[in-house]
Amino acid sequence: MLVNEDTVLKGREELLAAIADERFPCVGAKSAMARGTLKTLVGHSIESAWDDVKIHSELLEWAKAYRENPEGLRSLAVVFEGPKDLDEEGFEAAMWARLQSLADKDDWRGQPYDGSVSPNPDDPHFSLSFGGAAFFVIGLHPNASRPARRMPRPTLVFNLHDQFERLRKEGRYERMRDAIITRDVALAGDANPMLARFGEASEARQYSGRMVSDDWRCPFRDPRAA
């Protein structure tokens, strides 16, 4: 069963319009959209595994394409038809269910884990790995408490970890990070309390956009983790 073409077009248009809004703080997403390196997939429900094989195959191609040409910022956004009424905890649960399924498929397909990051979600150096490349995820949905995380439909944005490591080496990462924080404060009135640099705290705590407590435990376990 394919997603209705009208839904595909609407899902993409809604995402691009939200990113193009001058108040949207993520300058990295704006750059990727301007350069044509923001790719969108539209799936069914974020609570369903229906599109997981398709999404995982796209992640493998995304990782392969980056290795062949690692220039510029790029993002892969998966926009789901719904549900649109999930609260923050419901969205978080659905998001981790999808990520667990994708990790299981990566293992089943014999893909190695990126050795530059940890598969342990409690480790400050944790990151997801698909096709041998580290990814982190930004969860977006209609009922997010942070304005910057609100989108018309549930959305998962996959970003390659290495592209931000390259920005660090080039001395550009901190400038971009500062710009995002400044814009986020202007939008929300305060800085995101979950924001942390890689290696300071597990990035798993940031994926859903929900503010979690110190005793929060990630429900994800990669099958390749020792």
Helix (H, G, I), strand (E, B) or coil at 185: helix
What band does 1 get if pLDDT is binned at 50, 70 and 90? low
* In a domain? residue 225: no
**Residue 10 half-sphere exposure toward CB, CA atoms < 13 A:** 10
Partners of 77 in the β-ladder: 40, 157
Those residues with Cβ within 8 angstroms of residue 167's Cβ, 6 or more apart along the chain or in another chain: 173, 176
Q: Are strands 75-82 and 38-45 parallel, antiparallel or unpaired?
A: parallel
* In a domain? residue 122: yes
* In a domain? residue 169: yes
Confidence at residue 61, expressed as pLDDT on a 0 to 100 scale: 96
Burial class of residue 127, CB neighbours in 10 A (0-12, 13-18, 19+): buried
- Rounded Cα–Cα distance for residues 9 and 26 (Å): 23
Confidence at residue 51, expressed as pLDDT on a 0 to 100 scale: 96
Confidence at residue 50, expressed as pLDDT on a 0 to 100 scale: 96
- Rounded Cα–Cα distance for residues 27 and 140 (Å): 16
* In a domain? residue 185: yes
* In a domain? residue 171: yes
Confidence at residue 2, expressed as pLDDT on a 0 to 100 scale: 56
pLDDT tens digits for 47-62? 999 999 999 999 999 9
For the chain, the domain total comes to: 1
pLDDT at 162 over 90: yes
* In a domain? residue 168: yes
Closest C-alpha among 157, 159, 156 to residue 63? 159
**To which residue do tokens 């704006």 refer?**
30
pLDDT at 198 over 90: no
Helix axes 5-20, 27-35, angle to 10 degrees: 120
What band does 44 get if pLDDT is binned at 50, 70 and 90? very high
| Reported pTM | 0.94
Domain that holds residue 158: 5-206
